[in-house]
Amino acid sequence: MNTAAPKAGEKKRDRALFARLIESYQADRVGIFVDFDRLNHPGSPVWNPWENIAPLLVILIGSLAIMFFMMLLGIAVMVLGVLFYLLIMRPWIAQRVYRRAIDAATENLHNWNLLWKIGGLVITLNHMNKTRCVAPDGDWRAFVTRYLPEMGMEGTEIYNAFRTPVDDDKGKGKDQPSRYQDINM
């Protein structure tokens, strides 16, 4: 295993790729998804113990207090409390973990790399949902390099404006696909 510190060029390249990824995410070209099960556990930087434990403690203590006076009502409260936790609280916790993970991951490269190593992130292209990169086995740097064009390049707007479908009716049938007009710069 390579324990040497990353070279300065690699850090600069990683920052540029991360900036390209975040710019594409904000422009809605890519989606970043969170694996709730991998990130909602002790040791995860986005895990909140009170969010996970407090509702269960309230359900348990409340039902035990009621059970002390009326056994059947206490059992009913516990069953309803568990259903409430599974149907209401668990999706609420998942939404909060998702939001914290996305906010942390898009904040800076260090957080992104940390969450990527845990394996809680998935990147997908919005126009091709089957094209995805899953952490920690996938290489997000290669994904960004391959699928996300450089956004800051001068002239890309002009290139994309001229790269539009052109009808070619010169002796070809209507069932053939249209060509793309491509202007070399």
Q: Is residue 112 part of a domain?
A: yes
pLDDT at 154: 41
User: Does residue 185 sit within a domain?
Assistant: no
Mean pLDDT over 132-150 rounds to 81
pTM over 0.95: no
Residue 99 scores a pLDDT above 50: yes
Find tokens 């994904």 and name the residue: 143
Domain tally, the chain: 1
Q: Determine the pLDDT at residue 37.
A: 82
Predicted confidence at residue 7, as pLDDT, reads 54
Domain that holds residue 121: 26-149
pLDDT of residue 164: 47
In a domain, 121, yes or no: yes
Rounded distance, CA 12 to CA 176, Å? 45
DSSP element (H, E) containing 33: strand 30-34
CB atoms under 10 Å from CB of 34, counted, come to 21
Answer whether residue 142 is part of any domain. yes
pLDDT of 51 strictly over 70: yes
The answer to whether residue 54 sits within a structural domain is: yes
Question: In a 3-state reduction of DSSP, which class is residue 102?
Answer: helix
Please give the pLDDT value at position 181: 40
Flag whether 14 is in a domain: no
Question: Would you say residue 41 has pLDDT above 50?
Answer: yes
Query: Mean per-residue pLDDT for 39-45?
Result: 82
What is the average pLDDT across 51-61?
89
Handedness of CA 149, 152, 154, 159 (dihedral sign): positive
* Of the candidate ranges 52-61, 71-80, 136-145, 154-163, the one whose mean pLDDT is the lowest: 154-163
In-domain check, residue 166: no
The arithmetic mean of pLDDT across residues 46-70, rounded, is 89
For residue 63, is it within any domain?
yes
Distances (CA, A) of 66 to 80, 109, 170: 13, 50, 84
Q: What is the mean pLDDT of the chain?
A: 76
Average pLDDT (4-9) is 53
% of the chain beyond a pLDDT of 90? 16
Higher pLDDT, 110 or 164: 110
Between 19 and 1, name the one with better pLDDT: 19
